[in-house]
Chain A
Amino acid sequence: MDFFRHDVNFDWMGKTKYFVALSLTLLIVGAASWIHKGTLDYGIDFKGGTLVYVRFASTPPVDKLRQGLVQQGLGDSVIQQISDIATPNANEVVIYLPQRGQGNEALDAGKGEILNALHATLGAGEAGKQDFNEASPDVVAELLTRKDPLSAGTAGATRYQQLAKQLTDYRDKQARGVVSNLDDLRQAGATPAVISALRDAFYTGPFAVVNGEIVGPKVGADLRRQAVYVTLYALAGMLVYIALRFELVYGAAAVLAVFHDVLITLGLFSLLHFEISLTVIAALLTLVGYSMNDTIVIFDRIRENLRLMRREPFETIVNRSINQTLSRTILTSGLTFMTVLVLFLMGGQVLRSFSFALVVGILVGTYSSFGIAAPLVVAWNRWRGQGAVPVSGTTSGSKTRTGEAQGRLAPAGRR
């Protein structure tokens, strides 16, 4: 099985101006959006504050909740309903409240205020009873042991613990966090006696908090600084390695290309209002690794061809190298792209920004290898060959001889 023609002879370097135009457009659009907003859409990891994910048994009354939050003095909160392709009926809202003040009390206050507002808006539940959707297995087990609906006697403790775990597991997994009626627990193995015992002590609240994040202002600033430094260190490390294995200019070109990829991805994040969270940083690092990998494959082929094709101009060699690795590039990128696309479509809310960064990153990372990194090396060689004449970018594709005398890599003996 084979998809590709093997006599491909595409003049990649001749298209440099289009690549430059494309990259510049993407960079400028991204930068414009970034500058227009003044900042990126940082997630709570980076900006601090309180974030609460609330899951409802049915469609959440978002407008009512918003009014409720404002009435409770939380006018600066942001409430947003979540839905995505994987779970169109997620019935989730996420409520964000900016950080106010300093200290432990301020850090804790936000979550409490949001919960109070929710309870005030949606009703406080039944007096003297606990919300089953917020109960821990231990609390349920303790109640069952006390009531002993199965008449297990003294040996009941372990049995009820097991049952409680079973019931809360059912709530957390099958019911996705919210049981709307205690009778539903029958599906988890609760007998009518158990359910009526539970009913004496529990009611089912309309919502459950599935995730809460509180991040102080110091952490956010630290993380932002750290993310940038760590990425720069990693890039420097790669630069040194490539410079040792190839030449400095190859390292520089590869790192610039990767930089270009990260900037374009961030620009798209800004444009499409995706949030930059900590996991997005991991995705950006993945993108850096992937793009670098792709670039090195082409550089490696250039290095090999330089030895085989001593009489050809440098540009021809670069074109040939890209063409020779084309089938590999398309296969690998295609398969990896498919992988992350599945992740983007099916990965659910938590993985959303993360997989978006990867989807964009693989496209841009593949493109930058032949569209940015290789042309940079060619441009450098031409500049050196023509005695410090700046490159115009339009003479590419013509058979200049400049590459011949100059711009060769060190002989293979280096290894």
Chain B
Amino acid sequence: MESNLKWKVIFITLVVLLCFFGLVGLPTVPTSLAQVRDNFSKRIKLGLDLQGGTHLILQVQVNEAVGLQTDQTIDHLSTQLRDKNIRYDDLRKVSDTQILVHNLAPDATATFRDLVASSFPEWDLAPAPGEQSGYLLTLKPSTVAAIQAQTMAQSEDTIRRRIDALGLTEPVVAPYGQGDNEIIVELPGEGDPNRAKSVIQAGGQLELRRVQDPNPYPSEAAALGAHGGILPPGTELLSSKTTDATGQGSWYLVDRSPIITGRDLRNAVATPSTDNPGSYEVNFTLSTDAARRFGPFTEQNVGRAMAIVLDRKVVSAPVIQSRIEDSGRITGRFGQQESNDLALVLRAGALPASIRYLEERTVGPSLGADSIRHGVQASVISLMVVLIFMVFYYRLSGVNAVVALLLNLVILMAALAYFGAVLTLPGIAGVILTIGMGVDSNVLIFERIREELRAGKAPASAVDMGFKRAFLTIIDTHVTTVVSAVFLFVFGTGPVRGFAVTLTIGLIANLFTAVYVSRVIFDWHLAKMQRQAALSI
């Protein structure tokens, strides 16, 4: 055997070993057949369509966060204008990114401009169209983009923490699509998405606020009436979470700014209620920092009510009995799971913006199992027929093709395992096209060798010419398909990507197996073969 050929054989053997190691050698080197199978099923991850599970696509309403920034700016701006004695008629939010200052005192224009430039640099200032001395503040596009990106990142993070806390196996939380603020949540093996959905969707925004008027009002109008139509500055009305038998809620007049927010929590746990047997409550502890504020506050406000506000709804408004340091509890008529989920959401932190569901898919485990069974059955049968035909039609050379095709599949699977890619139904389509093109490569080469043999060439030179000529065609077909697969991967999402991944890997593997490996086998065979003997093809 030529030494060149020997090195090639060694190289191929190494690749094969590496592939088998990738497929069944991890995470632990197997010692029994059962372990081999176990490793294999761990390494080849199946998509939800094959395995069963829940797949959610949700959209983060990022503009809410932008609007919130605008609201805060209006608060700050009005305070500063008051401090600097700049007069104006009205200050209002025109859109999520715009604030209109109506009728600014003409003599204060310069001071106002300076104020905006120094204290609100993320805002562009321009005269309001159609107004004599009105100004329009517009949030800079770069700032808007930054807020949106931050909101997305924070939402993703929060959702991931909440999902992780549910204790499901290998959940996936990841950005999805192209720039529409979408997040994909995948819960393998989870057939009932409702709990996950309610946990994801919960706002989780906890606030403790001082209650101004000792008694709640039956309606918004009643509260306004008690104050002569205008609420005292720095307060607002919030409705209660629960309603009474007639569907009526109650309204609390509370401070606009909270004393404590969800960010000040150190921990939250659900425990059975002592006052209300059978129901549950959530106990929370505050961070040291917050406790330093909370202690004096409660001391000064003994005898007054404090509202526990969750997602802008008052859960309860207990009266402060004595100084409280660093703990509190949220009582309500919670069930066990409800209180657990609330504690979980409080621990994971609040969502910076609300979310909307765009899509929900649940594949039951029985359907997933069906799909696998059918798919595997069909693939094995058709692969067998193809392989048997190749051997039947091309005899010894057909065996060569069988080796190349099987090796192609092994490399493809190993690459999926190494990349941690997921095999889905469209991915299987990619595998089918790979097998088709693999067979095609072999057929192209073999038919070409036959042609050369018919033209009277000796086996060695016929094989050489056959490979050389067919190689050009194979390169063209493969590169064309890989080019399109790359486009599919870059511009596609979800299923289209799965297809592109398996196809690209499969075709690259095919170039290796159908051209390189197959050629080495031929050369090896030719080297052993007697010079005058005919090639078995």
Give the interface of A toward B (CB within 8 A). Answer: 1-3, 6, 53, 55, 86-87, 103-104, 107-108, 136, 168, 171-173, 175-177, 208-216, 218-219, 222, 226-227, 229-230, 233-238, 240-242, 245, 278-279, 281-283, 285-286, 288-290, 292-293, 296-297, 299-301, 304, 324-325, 327-328, 331-332, 335-336, 338-340, 342-343, 345-351, 354, 358
Contact = CB atoms under 8 A, between A and B. Distances in A.
B381 A346 contact: yes
Contact of A216 (B191, B357, B485, B498): B357
Contact of B364 (A1, A208, A285, A300): A208
B369 A332 contact: no
B443 interface: yes
B479 interface: yes
A170 to B, nearest CB: 11
B361 A214 contact: yes
7 contacts: A210-B363, A226-B493, A237-B483, A245-B476, A285-B429, A289-B437, A343-B375
A107 B360 CA distance: 9
B358 A218 contact: yes
Contacts of A172: 52, 364-366, 369
Contacts of A283: 429
Contacts of B436: 290, 293, 332, 335-336, 339
Given A210-B366, A292-B480, A335-B386, A216 B359 contact: yes
Contact of B382 (A6, A289, A299, A342): A342
Given A209-B364, A300-B473, A342-B382, A230 B496 contact: yes
A213 B361 contact: yes
Contacts of B373: 348
B375 A347 contact: yes
B324 interface: no
* From A209, A234, A297, A354, residue with most partner B Cβ within 10 Å: A234
Contacts of B369: 172-173
Contacts of B377: 346
B480 A238 contact: yes
Given A230-B492, A296-B480, A214 B503 contact: no
A237 B472 contact: no
Given A292-B480, A339-B435, A350-B374, A6 B440 contact: no
A57 B357 CA distance: 33
Given A216-B357, A288-B484, 7 more contacts: A1-B393, A6-B451, A104-B357, A215-B360, A230-B492, A237-B483, A282-B425
Nearest to B194: A108
B432 A358 contact: yes
B386 A339 contact: yes
Nearest to B178: A226
B492 A214 contact: no
B439 A351 contact: no
Contact of B491 (A136, A226, A286, A304): A226
Contact of A335 (B358, B365, B389, B426): B389
A236 B49 CA distance: 31
B201 interface: yes
Interface string B348-363: 0000000011111111
Contacts of B495: 278-279, 281-282
Nearest to A251: B480
Contacts of B484: 234-235, 237-238, 285, 288-289, 292
Contacts of B365: 168, 172
A345 B377 CA distance: 11
A283 B426 CA distance: 8
B469 interface: yes
B386 A327 contact: no
Contacts, number: 250
Interface residues of B, number: 81
Contact of B429 (A86, A171, A230, A286): A286
B437 A282 contact: no
B370 interface: yes
B472 to A, nearest CB: 6
A293 B496 contact: no
A212 B54 CA distance: 9
A236 B383 CA distance: 33
* From B52, B425, B503, residue with most partner A Cβ within 10 Å: B425
Nearest to B379: A343
Contacts of A279: 425-426, 429, 495
Interface string B391-423: 011110000000000000000000000000000
Contact of A331 (B385, B443, B473, B503): B443
B127 interface: no
Interface in B470-498: 472-473, 476-477, 479-481, 483-488, 491-496, 498
B280 interface: no
Given A216-B357, A237-B487, A343-B382, A300 B472 contact: yes
Contacts of B492: 226, 230
A219 B358 contact: yes
A235 B484 CA distance: 7
Contacts of B191: 136
B437 A293 contact: yes
Nearest to B476: A296
A354 B374 CA distance: 13
Nearest to B55: A213
A298 B383 CA distance: 26
A285 B493 CA distance: 14
A141 B180 CA distance: 41
A372 to B, nearest CB: 17
A298 B361 CA distance: 43
Contact of A241 (B364, B469, B479, B496): B479
A308 to B, nearest CB: 11
